[in-house]
Structure 1
Amino acid sequence: MAGRLLLVWRLLVRDLSRRRTETVLLLVAVTAATATLTLGLALNEIVTRPYEQTRAATAAPDLVVEPGFSGPAALDALAPLTALPGVAAHSGPYPLAFLALTARDTTVRVVVEGRDGAPAAVDRPAVTEGSWVRPGGVVVERTFADALGLRTGDPVSVEGHPLHVTGIAVTAARPAYPRVGWHLPGSILTEGGGLLWADRGDIARLAGSRPLSYTVNLKLADPAAGIAVVDPSQGNPRFRGWHFRTGQDIADANGRLNAQAREVLLIGSWLLTALSVAGVAGIVAGRAIGQRRRVGLLKAVGAGPAMIAAVHLAEYLVIGLAAAGTGLVAGWLAAPALFRPTVGLIGSVGVDPPPLRLVVAATGLALGIAVAATLVPVVRAAASSTTQALADAATPPRRRGWAIWLSRRLPTALLIGVRINARRPRRARLVTVNTLVTTTALAAVLMAFAQERKPVDLGYSDLPDARDERTTQALLIVVGVVCLLALLNTVVSTWTAVLDTRHPLAVARALGATPAQAGIGLAVAQLLPAIPGVAAGIPFGLVTFFAGGDNRYAPASSMFAAALGVLLAVAALTAVPALAAARRPVADTLASAPT
């Protein structure tokens, strides 16, 4: 056993060192899919991990309670809650005013919470820039400040009262902008808005004649108890119209800001998986061309089918493991920089190691791609006879009467292309898959950009929705990686075709075909299977996008331009190497044929 393992290891190392280019291409193809899947899965971690870190750093409450009425009655209603069994600590009640902020000629709704200068036992917002509240100034929640472009020292006004920004802070006691829970006093309907902290002594002046509401922050002995501490039946009419926010509610609200981007990345990862399988299969096909005779030689010296399979699979599994590690690290480190969903939180991912479930998912995907793309050629190599492997012969085309009749009437270049695909039908199908996935991704992205973007209604002004920004970023990442991987697959497919058809093309030229006809025929062999892939990719893209439930179509002209662009890219990427390969002297090519 030790001798066999040593032999497999030596053959693996030698093959990887001799075929460095193909090894790098394999690594890139699998890494792209793994990194995109990691991006999608990491988005959830990007929100939950920093939120938990923010909760710990700010002594976040487990339950935030705001009564359904205002004034002294609100204070009287909140007072008994702080002494309930199960309440370990509390802060407040703090006055709340639902007002309007004007900054940089933009007026928006804001929740203004009055706070003391001394730190509280529960809910201590972490100041990330500037200083905490003091008379005449306000502290702005960081996501809200980022949306308005506010910095410390900037002038603002609240209901016409001039103030300045003394600091920027984050909290885990309310969801990030714009879901902070702005509402009219006594109303259960919440609207979009931002969050400010002001000195408690300034609240009455800022609110003017508007009634003040109040809020209290509770730290529970059992955080999972939630609202049951205050209302065990969770149906007491006394609490009708009250606002309750648990820590889990706030975490879910922050997570919804990235839900669309995460869905796009997960769908994109499956598209990239299909594209990676096609690319890896094409690279494997190219490597198999150079390995067929080696398989025959191994069989001739006594290697059995199991040994042949082990030699081949070990190589691709090693590449898959390396790609899994590379893609996992790349996706985990890139996610915070690409999406910045932690702007309203402190802490980040990328520094800490990824969770085990993410490592298992990325590794499983990479190994699955490697096995799915290599299993068929490995089984064929293991099952082939020694004579067949040493003969190194291509699959003979099936001769049908109608095909022969049609081929007599085809131009020479088109006939050469059809015959090349007939000899290697599996490679032609990979080209179809490549263009199908690429066109599907482009069509889905065009559909997404055609939809109406609804800004966030902030009462007096509209601002762009951060969810749309992150979804657009995710779409651009997916389509960019898809296009790069599709270009890589096309180059690999052309390289494989050039390697495999050098002798048949030399024979065709010996029988009278010109170098131009041979080169165009090789390019046509790549372009013909791309046409059905592009044709099917448009409806597939529509189906993929409409899974999200929207119903607005992209212009037909943009869809046609995308389809034509894919075909032109395939033609351009295949024409140059095909024509270059066809100009090699016939005598040199035929002299290099195995005897």
Structure 2
Amino acid sequence: MGGRLLLVCRLLVRDLRRRRTETVLLLLAISAATATLTLSLALDGALTQPYERTRTATAGPDVVATPSAAGPRALAALAPLTTAPGVTAHSGPYPIGYLMLTARGKTVQAVVQGRDNSPAALDRPAVTNGTWVRPGGVVIEPTFANALGVRTGDTVDINGHPLRVVGTAVTAARAVYPRADWRFGPGSPLVQAAGLAWVDSSQIGALAGGRPLSYTLNLRYADPRVSTSFTHLSTGGIEYTSWVQIAEANGRLVKRAHLALLIGSWLLTVLAVVSVANIVAGRVADQRRRVGLLKAVGAGPAMIAAVHLAEYLVIGLAAAGTGLAAGWFAAPALTNPGAGLLGSTGTHPPALRAVVAGTALAIAIAAVAALAPVLRAATTDTVDALANAATPPRRRGWRVRLSRRMPTAILIGIRVNARRPRRARLVMVNTLITTIGLAALLMGLAQNRQVKLGAAQLANPQSARTLQAMLLVVVVLCVLALINAVVSTWTAVLDARHPLAVARTLGATPEQVTVGMAVAQLLPATLGVALGVPAGIGLNLVTTPGNLRYPPTSWMLALALTVLLTVAVLTAIPALAATRRPVVDALRSTPT
């Protein structure tokens, strides 16, 4: 047993040293899928953790009460709530004005709350930049400030009154832009998108210009579970908003981005399996003579399988570590406060869950992709393994008759695919997954990424974050697909050296051979593109609610042509290099 283990380790180290480039490609392929899964787990945690931290840091209330009345009647309606059974703390009532804010030439809806510098028992907004409210100044919620394009020190106008932006702050008592719930007046049932701002309480009456002010009261209960009963509750002329509703509204900002990363991790997993299978198939085909030698000296199928699987499992474990590290360090950048995540300076994924899931995924990818070719090599006849012959194409009468009418280049391409049908299927899947990702990205770019706030429009942070996640996934998809294409075309050219040399001996020109290799890759790639474009569009239709805008047909046509042109160029370069080699050398170097 010890001798067999030593042999496996020696062959493992030898293969890793001899095939360093392929080993690096395998690491990249599996690491990409693992890193994307880690980012998805990080964003999953970011849906709730930042709000919880903000609620703790700012003494967020359990329930926010807003009466339908205005002025003194509103204050009278809220007064009994401060001494209601179960209430342990309260703050306010604070005046609220549904006003219009102008910044950089755009006039938008804003929920303006009057506050002062006295400490509050509940809802103490945390200043993230600048200072807290003072006369003549305004503090803006950060996501709203980013959409407006204003910074501390700029001047904005609220209902004709110029105010200096003295800072930005976050709160757990109201949802962030664009879900701050602007109304046409107190008690109005119509809720519209808006941002949140704070001003000195002594100025809000003048800013409202005589319009009646609404009020909000923050409440905390002895039993935290009581607050969940206030979800979507309006009774006695008072609307109650639970912290659960606010957390859910804030979570929507990254919910689609999380879904995009989750679907992207599935696509990357499939593409990683294709990549690993492609590389493994080339490695196993190159090692068939060694398989024959091992069998000739007495090694059984189990030993052959162990020799090959050990290599890929070791690479899978190394890739798991690499992918987890990349996802861990990239997660804070994806879950920063610019995404609308309150109180978050960057969220890491849960360590144990990420390690278990990432390691399991990496090992599964390596095992699933390597299992079929390894078992095929282990069960191959010794003589066939030593001969290292490709799968002979199945000859049919109708195929022979059809081939007589085909141009030489197309005939060469079809014959290459017939010899290695599995490689052609991998090319099709590789192109399919890549096209799905690119088509979905074009669909995302075609959507309206603006929020209407009255007569003006501002950027939608939800769409921006979703698009950022899609771009991340598509970039990784394209890099991995490019690696797959390079590996596939290069191994196809190397594997077809002998058949191509025979074709050149029979009169085929180097140009025909080059075109033939391009055809061999383009045939399955065309099918992948044809299926990928509608699949990418359908993916958006399934995952995105509401009416969608479709990109111009020219965009999709350009996408298809670009993908196919890339495949053709990547194939033509190694094919041209191979045709420069003398036919005699090619025939001598390849076993028959």
TM-score over 0.5 (shorter chain): yes
Counterpart of 2:210 in structure 1: which amino acid?
S
Instruction: State the match for 1:472 in structure 2.
Output: 467
1:513-528 residue pairs with structure 2 within 5 A? 513-528=508-523
**Which amino acid in the other structure matches residue 61 of structure 1?**
P
Task: Please state if 1:347 is matched with 2:348.
Answer: no
Corresponding residue number in structure 1 for 2:298: 302
Moved more, 576-585 or 264-273: 264-273
The answer (yes or no) to whether the contact 1:339–1:473 under 8 Å persists in 2 is no
Select between 505-514 and 189-198 the one with higher mean Cα deviation: 505-514
Q: Secondary structure at the match of 2:133?
A: coil
Q: Distance in 1 between matches of 2:242 and 2:65?
A: 9
Q: 1:147 maps to which residue? A: 147
- 1:192-241 C-alpha deviation (Å, 9 max, x unpaired): 1111222222222222322222212223333232154x79xx97x7x255
Of 486, 490, 505, the residue aligned with 1:510 is: 505
Q: Is the 8 A contact 1:342 1:348 kept in 2?
A: no
Number of paired residues? 588
* Greater alpha carbon shift after TM alignment, 426-435 vs 314-323: 314-323
Aligned ranges 1:374-385 → 2 under 5 Å:
374-385=370-381
Q: What are the residue-to-residue correspondences of 1:80-99 with 2, within 5 Å?
A: 80-99=80-99
Equivalent positions of 1:473-552 (< 5 A) are: 473-547=468-542, 548=544, 550=547, 552=549
Match of 1:246 among 242, 247, 260: 242
**How far did 1:285 drift?**
1.2
Match of residue 449 from structure 1: 445
Match for residue 190 of structure 1? 191
Q: Is the 8 A contact 1:108 1:459 kept in 2?
A: yes
Structure 2: unaligned runs, 5 residues or longer:
none
Distance in 2 (CA, whole Å) between partners of 1:574 and 1:64 is: 64
Q: Does 2:544 align with 1:555?
A: no
Report the Cα offset of residue 562 of structure 1. Answer: 1.6
Provide closer, same or farther for how the CA distance between residues 96 and 556 of structure 1 changes in structure 2, counting only shifts above 3 A: closer
CA distance in 1, matches of 2:62, 2:42: 25
Scaled by the length of structure 2, what TM-score is found? Answer: 0.93
Aligned to 1:221: 222
Q: 1:535-561 deviations in whole A, cap 9, x for unaligned?
A: 222332332232235454433332222
TM-score, length-normalised on structure 1? Answer: 0.92
- Report the equivalent of 2:263: 267
2: CA distance, partners of 1:587 / 1:40? 54
CA RMSD between the two structures: 2.4
Question: Do 1:65 and 1:216's aligned partners in 2 also have CA atoms closer than 8 Å?
Answer: yes
Q: Report the CA distance between 1:594 and its aligned residue.
A: 4.5
Does the CA contact (< 8 Å) of 1:170 and 1:344 recur in 2?
Answer: no
Which stretches in structure 1 are left out of the alignment for 5+ residues?
none
Q: What is the one-letter code of the residue matched to 2:575?
A: A
- Asked if the contact 1:50–1:342 (Cα under 8 Å) also holds between the matched residues in 2, the reply is no
Q: Secondary structure at the match of 2:496?
A: helix
Q: CA offset at residue 99 of structure 1?
A: 1.7
Match of 2:557, as an amino acid?
F
Matches within 5 A, 1:388-407: 388-407=384-403
Question: 1:285–1:496: 8 Å Cα contact kept in structure 2?
Answer: no
Aligned residue in 1 for 2:132: 132
Q: 3-state DSSP class of the match of 1:394? A: coil
Contact conserved, 2:438 with 2:474, CA < 8 A, in 1?
yes
Matched with 1:312 is: 308
Q: Deviations over 1:290-346 (max 9, x none)?
A: 211222222223322222222222222222222233223323433443464545522
The 5 A counterparts of 1:102-113 are: 102-113=102-113
User: Secondary structure of the equivalent of 1:201?
Assistant: coil
Report deviation, 1:532.
Answer: 1.9
1:580 aligned onto 2:577: yes
Partners of 2:297 and 2:237 in 1: CA distance: 84
Larger CA deviation: 468-477 vs 24-33:
468-477
CA shift digits 1:489-544 (9 cap, x unpaired)? 11110111122112222233334333333333222222222222222223323322
Mean CA deviation greater in 28-37 or 91-100: 28-37
